[in-house]
Structures are given as C-alpha cells and as structure tokens.
Amino acid sequence: QSALTQPASVSGSPGQSITISCIGTSSDVGGYNYVSWYQQHPGKAPKLMIYDVIERPSGASNRFSGSKSGNTASLTISGLQAEDEADYYCSSYTGGSTVYVFGTGTKVTVL
C-alpha cells in the first residue's frame, strides 16, 4: 500500500484560503468515507482536525473543512492565520492488510 500523495508545500497570506489535496486510489480514499486530516507543529504530536472526510472534532477550528471527490480528498483552511503554519497529513482507512495509510505530508507556510 503506497502513501497517499500530497503537495510538499502550500502557502498563503493571512486571511486567504488554501486547499491541500490528498490523492489515493479506489482501495483507500475512493473506497471509504474514512479520511482524516492531522495538523502537526514542530516537536508536537499530530492533532486531529477532520475525520470521516467532513467531520470536525471539538477543539478544532471551524476554519478547517474537508471534502472528497473520487480518489482525492481535500482540506481547506479559510481565513489563514499565523498559527496555521504547520505540517498537515491526511490518512485513510484501506480495509486491507495495511489498515491505515498516511499521506506524504504538506508544509503550510503563512506568508
């Protein structure tokens, strides 16, 4: 099972919106509505921002939203803030022997 494909970096100015893509296959992203997104600041453990493609856990800002079309999931950050500068990872349930697969990671820079 290969890692999901994410852009290495995405940047935006404060207040702007950015979108991070997560490309998988019909065996993972496209096959199940179990895509999660994590935010990781340097030296910290990942934090769940989106689960089940579109759901937001309590504690996650409502500026974060998720979506999916076919084999591609997306995370949108609206009203970009300095505190959003971090690494972001998607993950998907696969239903196979590699039960969960993570994305390659995207570094978000706030200009």
Residues 28-47 contacting another protein, CB under 8 A: 33-34, 36, 38, 45-47
Closest CA to 74 of 108, 23, 26: 23
Question: Least distance from C-beta 99 to another protein, angstroms?
Answer: 5
Which tokens hold the place of 105? 């990671």
Nearest to 106 by CA among 49, 53, 30: 49
8 Å CB contact between 90 and 36: yes
∠ CA 63-12-25, nearest 5°, is 70
Using the contact rule CB under 8 A, the part of the chain among 17-25, 61-69, 77-85, 91-99 near another protein is 91-99
Say whether residue 97 binds another protein (CB under 8 A).
Answer: yes
Among 22, 29, 101, 110, binds another protein (CB under 8 A): 101
The binding track of 43-82 with respect to another protein, each residue x by CB under 8 A or -, is: --xxxx--xx----x-------------------------
